Structure 1
Amino acid sequence: MIDNFPPAYFTRNGATFIGDSRELLADLPDGSVNLVITSPPFALQRQKEYGNLDQHEYIDWFLDFGRLVHQKLKDDGSFVVDFGGSYMKGVPARSLYNFRVLIRMVDELGFFLAEDFYWFNPSKLPSPIEWVNKRKMRVKDSINTVWWFSKTEWPKADVTKVLAPYSDRMKKLIEDPDKFYTPKMRPSGHDIGKGFAKDNGGAIPPNLLQISNSESNGQYLSGCKAVGIKGHPARFPAKLPEFFIRMLTEPDDLVVDIFGGSNTTGQVAEAEGRRWMTFEALPEYVAASAFRFLDKGMTPEAMRSLYDRIAAGESVSIDEYRQQTALAL
């Protein structure tokens, strides 16, 4: 836990805190965090209800958080950040803010770029409307850049924890290499034998992550609907933090999300047996995010009670709350 800040709610493995992430991070011991993974408000030209800054102000603002993260990470720790792309104001030309953040994080703060990832969301709506739908001058923007920063050149990582399923063709090749492949020299000069036709439990994943963001009936949204509130408008899918949590951490490692939102990161970290903390400035988002940790079948009255207690500033044990509610039922 953080000494000077009580959690808004907590579970056996983690806790969510309401407040400015810079203050909350400052209270953590240096070198104590294994992974910080987050999706900050994007530097969009149109203001969003969850808050975002002008693109020129954004980079300096984000680097304030980056400095603190660098201090709090273990030497083999990682900082994974999901950045959405953006256009320059009023013209069909792309902003470079996410690339400027990348360069300054490395040049000024001492991070290393372990690898660049690209999240392809096939369910993303066409945008921006002006250039895609109306004037039909640009294709829809379906990719987010995801920068994997590390504190040193040698972050902890194990790709075998995130292997992708083999294709049907690869499965046949593994079963009978002689039938489906003849060793030969490739045009590049590499001599490809049959050694690769080995079952390693899955294929090495690429740095293009295809993950739809189309959740419509999960526990979180069900809770929001039951209580009569809107869900967070910029949630990322559970498969995104799951990939990096599995690859970059081990059970009982500490995972932190500094822009917690609806707390997808905490939910995944809890399921994966990691310790976790999430920080979020808006109490209403924190209160609603607690729905992710409730049992299915919880009554709307019970969910409303939990929401009101957290929003009012009470520190709630989710495990005790679930037990008390079960007894009351």
Structure 2
Amino acid sequence: MEAPCRPELVTNKKPFYLTVYGEAYLADSLEILKSIPSHSVNLVLTSPPYALHFQKEYGNATKEDYVDWILPFASEIYRVLTDDGSFVLNIAGSYNKGTPTRSIYHYKLMVELVETVHFYLAQECFWYNPAKMPMPAEWVTVRRIRIKDSVEYVWWFSKTPWPKANNMNVLRPYSKDMIRLNQRGVRATKRPSGHKINSSFDKVKAGGSIPPNVIDDGTPTDFLKFGNNSANDNYTKKCKEAGIKIHPARFPVALPEFFIKLLTDTNDIVLDPFAGSNTTGMVSEYLQRKWIAIEQVEEYLVSSQFRFDL
């Protein structure tokens, strides 16, 4: 086993488990966040319980209370981030109870994070999840008056207007059309939109195409498309073998991988305050980033150890 290379920022609580690069804590995340030194974390990447119109078994605040519930966490996240650090937040939309209309709770949260906590909105990204169920069934599959909701928001916030980021780390293979274009050469022209393209518009030197802000799994589409219903990965198989409940709202590996590559360097510190099955920690581990995971449901932390063969 390699020599440990951990964050060692939490001094008031013993870790639930350790790996070479990381530390997982069974605790209230607000308590742990308050103990972490200011300006010490490079990336906070998380997916808190959503404000859905029905109660989930892992707990979730109502839409009416959601903004007030999450702001104390956000304030601590702002404090612990380095000045060039980022906060990546995955959050889903929701319907208003009893009507086929959409809630705007997540937009209210975005505004509060910018205007009250003083984050900058670096970029809005979108995760297309083809595995999402057609819910609420009342409006989608019974009355057939709404279409399937398959997109979740992934908001990239920063502490200053200039967070550390490098899209060269997440380039994608060129499409066949782009390869043909590069072989033929780029001619100077002006598009109908008014954008000018000159002969120096040469993408071959970059080594790949710049990804869109709609996240997929790297297949030849322009979407950030990740299913989260894997039934045969190591984590899922070992949970079944051990008779342990599988976390019902897991990150697909490609989602944290994309942002960790984009926003951090080797040995930077990544924090997930709502770790669940700790996909963020696992991805950080194999990318050689130090990591801290916090989860208050012991069963989820126990099963998350399968991700590291502990």
TM-score w.r.t. structure 2 length? Answer: 0.92
Partner of 1:186: 191
1:202 equivalent in alignment to 2:199:
no
| Partner AA of 1:10 in structure 2 | L
| Partner AA of 1:204 in structure 2 | I
Displacement of 1:182 after TM fit?
A: 4.5
Partner of 1:288: 303
Counterparts of 1:191 and 1:34 in 2: how far apart (Å)?
Answer: 37
Counterparts of 2:195 and 2:17 in 1: how far apart (Å)?
Answer: 56
Partner of 1:212: 226
1:66 equivalent in alignment to 2:74:
yes
Structure index of larger Rg: 1
Equivalent of 2:255, from 208, 215, 240? 240
Alignment of 1:214-229 (within 5 A): 214-229=229-244
1:79 equivalent in alignment to 2:94:
no
Alignment of 1:243-262 (within 5 A): 243-262=258-277
Counterparts of 1:60 and 1:262 in 2: how far apart (Å)?
Answer: 25
Counterparts of 1:86 and 1:186 in 2: how far apart (Å)?
Answer: 39
TM-aligned CA distance change 1:285 to 1:190, over 3 Å: closer
Displacement of 1:189 after TM fit?
A: 3.6
Counterparts of 1:283 and 1:51 in 2: how far apart (Å)?
Answer: 13
Displacement of 1:248 after TM fit?
A: 0.5
Counterparts of 2:42 and 2:107 in 1: how far apart (Å)?
Answer: 24
| Partner AA of 2:168 in structure 1 | T
| Partner AA of 2:305 in structure 1 | A
Counterparts of 1:143 and 1:207 in 2: how far apart (Å)?
Answer: 12
Counterparts of 1:187 and 1:142 in 2: how far apart (Å)?
Answer: 32
Runs of 5+ in structure 1 lacking a partner? Answer: 295-317, 319-329
Displacement of 1:43 after TM fit?
A: 0.2
1:231 equivalent in alignment to 2:239:
no
| Partner AA of 1:192 in structure 2 | I
SS class of match (1:59): helix
SS class of match (2:270): strand
Partner of 1:117: 125
* Larger relative helix fraction: 1
Equivalent of 1:276, from 270, 291, 296? 291
Displacement of 1:53 after TM fit?
A: 1.2
Displacement of 1:220 after TM fit?
A: 0.5
Partner of 1:299: none
Q: What per-residue deviation string (whole Å, max 9, x for no partner) do you get for residues 51-106 of structure 1?
A: 11111111101101001101100101111000011001110110011111100011
| Partner AA of 1:188 in structure 2 | S
What is the root-mean-square deviation of aligned Cα atoms in Å?
A: 1.2
Displacement of 1:184 after TM fit?
A: 2.6
Displacement of 1:111 after TM fit?
A: 0.7
Partner of 2:115: 107
Equivalent of 1:29, from 22, 33, 37? 37
Counterparts of 1:96 and 1:189 in 2: how far apart (Å)?
Answer: 34
Q: How many residues align?
A: 292
CA contact (8 A) 2:49 2:59 kept: yes
The percentage of counterpart residues that share the same residue type is: 48
TM-score w.r.t. structure 1 length? Answer: 0.86
CA contact (8 A) 2:26 2:294 kept: yes
CA contact (8 A) 2:245 2:299 kept: no
CA contact (8 A) 1:211 1:237 kept: no
CA contact (8 A) 1:36 1:69 kept: yes
1:43 equivalent in alignment to 2:51:
yes
Displacement of 1:132 after TM fit?
A: 0.4
Displacement of 1:107 after TM fit?
A: 0.7
Counterparts of 1:219 and 1:190 in 2: how far apart (Å)?
Answer: 47
